[in-house]
Chains A and B, each alone.
Chain A
Amino acid sequence: MDTLQTLALGFIGIVIVNNLVFTKFLGTCPYLGVSGRLDMAFGMGCAVTFVITLAGAMTWIIDHGFLMGTQLEVTRYVCYILVIAGAVQLVEMYLRKFFPTLYDSFGIFLPLITTNCAILGLCLFIYLWQVQTLLEAAVLSFGAGIGFTLAICIMAGIRENLELADVPAPLRGAPITLITAGLLTLAFMGFAGMIR
């Protein structure tokens, strides 16, 4: 029961309270680039969730199973990024073979995900927070993906409406998106302290 409570609180915590985009500034590049339309945003969010859960679990396993046992902790970052790149490749190949329609709808997003700071960032945070169990790492990774999807979809909805507004010329594009993101961050700050 305790485990379930910790997991549930951890999940809600990372989706809403410690949302990766709004509080830790991770995943900002695709967040600004891909949030133009709601369907593209949702597709990106799903792809990221898929890869991030896989990557989070695999890096935890490598960390605890291999790196900490031997004295190879200095190669941690190299291992993490190689695992993530490998995971993205695997997912791409698997999808292309078995789910071609899904692969087509993900389009260009999958290869772009390797440089998404959110994935490497989450793996590093899982190490930093000293997460003890694989289950907790997997749940937190999944939650991070969901949080990212939530953030990017909200932003896409707002931007679709912004297209109809009269934005001054220098502010068009990235600046107004950033200011909107800032206001969203302000809104999400209201959730801080919810989980103790």
Chain B
Amino acid sequence: MAEETKNVSLGKTLADGIWSQNPVLRLLLGMCPTLAVTAAVKPAITMGLSVIFVLVCSNIVVSMMRHLLKPHLRILMFTLTIATFVTIADLYLKAYLPEMSAALGPYIPLIIVNCIIICRAEACAAKNGILVSVVDAIGMGLGFTAALCVLASVREILATGKWFDSVVMPGWFVPWAAMSMPVGAFITLGLILALVNQLAGKKT
């Protein structure tokens, strides 16, 4: 019985991270990279995968340390852990995916102050075992990546007529250059949030 409830709650944790507790669309965390890297789908996916990597690693480390943490040094320890893994992710991108690293620029190190990661470390990893923390991290990370991809797809298709570097729009389509500029980012995200609010509102 205990095994079953544990499995059910793991599945629920995963699903929560993707929809009902989606960090970008419901919890409104991590807005800065969402707007900055979603001009095209490739950088968005790269950013999403980097965040998943950092989330999982930092949740594992924090969860391992959770009984040893002193209260007033907690945030410092979280920050140190996150900064280390973000540096590793940044080095990896510079070494193996240099064009993505150049496209994402300073927004990879900005993962350090991404509220999602520190909030999950505080709210979940510091209080739960390793397995739950990892599942939570994966759920949140997937939710984040999904939200980024949706936004990036809309922006890329409207701004260039291409999706993932292959042409999708018919020939008569005139690209909306504004979509690849900050204007398009803010307005599209606002409209997507409104849509999500509408869908979520209808459910409850």
B183, A27: Cβ atoms under 8 Å?
no
Q: Which residues of B contact A85 (CB under 8 A)?
A: 75-76, 79
A134 at interface, CB cutoff 8 A: no
Q: Are B118 and A115 in contact (CB under 8 A)?
A: yes
B residues near A77, Cβ cutoff 8 Å: 83, 86-87, 90, 109, 112
Query: What's the minimum C-beta distance from A49 to chain B, rounded to whole angstroms?
Result: 18
**Chain A 103-122: CB-based contact to B (< 8 A → 1; otherwise 0):** 00000000000111101110
A179 within 8 Å of B by Cβ? yes
Q: Assess whether B186 is in contact with A170, with CB atoms less than 8 Å apart.
A: no
B side interface size, CB within 8 A:
44
Task: Check A179 against B79 for contact (C-beta < 8 Å).
Answer: no
Digitize A1-44: 1 where CB-to-B-CB distance is under 8 Å, 0 elsewhere.
Answer: 00000000000000000000011111111001100000000000
> Is A189 an interface residue when CB atoms closer than 8 A count as contact?
yes
Smallest distance from the beta carbon of B46 to chain A beta carbons, Å? Answer: 17
Residues of B within 8 A of A173 (CB): 197
Q: For B31, what are the chain A residues with a Cβ–Cβ distance below 8 Å? A: 25, 28-29, 32
B91–A23 CB distance below 8 A: no
CB distance from B116 to the nearest CB of A (A): 10
Q: Which residues of A contact B106 (CB under 8 A)?
A: 121, 124-125, 128
Contacting A at CB under 8 A, from B131-188, are 178, 181-187
Shortest distance between the CB of A83 and any CB in chain B (Å)? 11
Q: Which of B106-126 contact A (CB under 8 A)?
A: 106, 109-110, 112-115, 118
B194 interfacial by beta-carbon distance below 8 Å: yes
B69 located at the interface, meaning its Cβ lies under 8 Å from any Cβ of chain A in the complex: no
Q: Could you mark each residue 72-111 of chain B with 1 if its beta carbon is under 8 Å from any beta carbon of chain A, else 0?
A: 0001100110011011001100000000000001100110
- What chain A residues lie within 8 Å of B110 (beta carbons)? 26, 117, 120-121, 124
The distance in angstroms between the C-alpha atoms of A125 and B106, with both chains bound, is: 7
Instruction: Assess whether A164 is interfacial by the CB under 8 Å rule.
Output: no
Say yes or no for A82: interface residue by CB 8 A criterion.
Answer: yes
Q: Quick check: A178 and B190 within 8 Å, CB to CB?
A: yes
Q: Which residues of A contact B (CB under 8 A)?
A: 22-29, 32-33, 74-78, 80-82, 85, 114-117, 119-121, 124-125, 128, 169-171, 173-179, 181-183, 185-186, 189
Interchain Cβ contacts under 8 Å between A and B, 16 examples: A25-B33, A25-B36, A25-B182, A77-B112, A81-B83, A81-B112, A116-B113, A120-B113, A124-B106, A169-B198, A169-B201, A173-B197, A178-B187, A179-B186, A182-B184, A189-B183
